[in-house]
Chains A and B, each alone.
Chain A
Amino acid sequence: SYVLTQPPSVSVSPGQTATITCGRLNIGSKSVQWYQQKPGQAPVVVVYDDSDRPSGIPERFSGSNSGNTATLTITRVEAGDEADYYCQLWDSSDDHHYVFGTGTKVTVL
């Protein structure tokens, strides 16, 4: 199996844009999801299928996926966005395995 590589941390000022990457060779051929996890809470999906948002997730959260990198972008960052973020994909070629990224801590300055 393998892991998806994310930067350990990203710092951003309120109102600015946070960009979190998720790297793997040819990740663009897979569908990628993103989860937000606040301290002491269970993860919540914020983007699925590369760029779709579940109902209730603000438009400030957006995703893209191409080549070797998938990206989660959070615009107009708010204090409440401070959390750990994980990317995830399903690999049908690896005996139906689900793979998570290493996680990124987003700190709002």
Chain B
Amino acid sequence: EVRLVESGGGSAQPGGSLRLACTASGFPFSSYEMNWVRQAPGKGLEWVAYISSSGTVTYYSDFVKGRFTVSRDNAKNSISLEMTSLRVEDTAIYYCTRGRTTVRGTKFARWFDPWGQGTLVTAS
């Protein structure tokens, strides 16, 4: 069974830091890209960060660039999200999710499957 389990959520003051972790099992972790996606209370989904299968390439949403850092340890089947300079608007459930890709002609389909259960981060 493919499984993703997040940990590390909690409360921090604005300007503070938190580190989230996600541990994967049930699939060849080092072969897959990974992402973090968040959801503020009562709001929609928002992509946060991407990391390539090797960990050498990362991308961030404009909202977190320069404040958040994603990393991975393929030996431990895990990724992390280091969050600094937290803002009230960073309050959300943070989901770890595996990246999937298919190519059809010139169109790239990239999506998220599966998702972890999420971990709540509160900055207040």
Which residues of A are at the interface with B, using a C-beta cutoff of 8 A?
1, 29-31, 33, 35, 37, 42-45, 48-50, 52, 54, 86, 88, 90, 92, 95-103
Pairwise interchain contact B47-A45, C-beta atoms closer than 8 A:
no
Pairwise interchain contact A90-B110, C-beta atoms closer than 8 A:
yes
Given the interface pairs A88-B111, A96-B59, A100-B45, the reply to whether A48 lies near B117 with Cβ below 8 Å is: no
For the complex, give the distance between the alpha carbons of A96 and B58 in Å: 9
For the complex, give the distance between the alpha carbons of A54 and B113 in Å: 10
Judge whether B35 is part of the interface by a CB distance below 8 angstroms.
yes
Majority-rule SS of B interface residues? strand
Pairwise interchain contact A42-B50, C-beta atoms closer than 8 A:
no
For the complex, give the distance between the alpha carbons of A35 and B113 in Å: 10
Smallest beta-carbon distance A102→chain B, Å: 6
Pairwise interchain contact B45-A95, C-beta atoms closer than 8 A:
no
The 7 closest A-B pairs by CB, nearest first: A31-B109, A49-B109, A90-B110, A98-B47, A42-B115, A33-B111, A96-B59
Task: Identify which of A44, A86, A90, A97 contacts B109 (C-beta below 8 A).
Answer: A90
For the complex, give the distance between the alpha carbons of A34 and B114 in Å: 13
Judge whether B100 is part of the interface by a CB distance below 8 angstroms.
yes
For the complex, give the distance between the alpha carbons of A61 and B100 in Å: 20
Pairwise interchain contact A43-B45, C-beta atoms closer than 8 A:
yes
**Interface hub of B62, B107, B116, B117 (most chain A Cβ within 10 A):** B107
- Interface residues in B33-88 (C-beta closer than 8 Å to A): 35, 37, 44-47, 50, 59, 61-62
Task: Identify which of B35, B95, B108 contacts A31 (C-beta below 8 A).
Answer: B108
B109 surroundings in chain A (CB, below 8 A): 31, 33, 48-50, 90
A92 surroundings in chain B (CB, below 8 A): 108
For the complex, give the distance between the alpha carbons of A52 and B113 in Å: 14
Pairwise interchain contact B47-A99, C-beta atoms closer than 8 A:
yes
**Interface hub of A29, A49, A54 (most chain B Cβ within 10 A):** A49
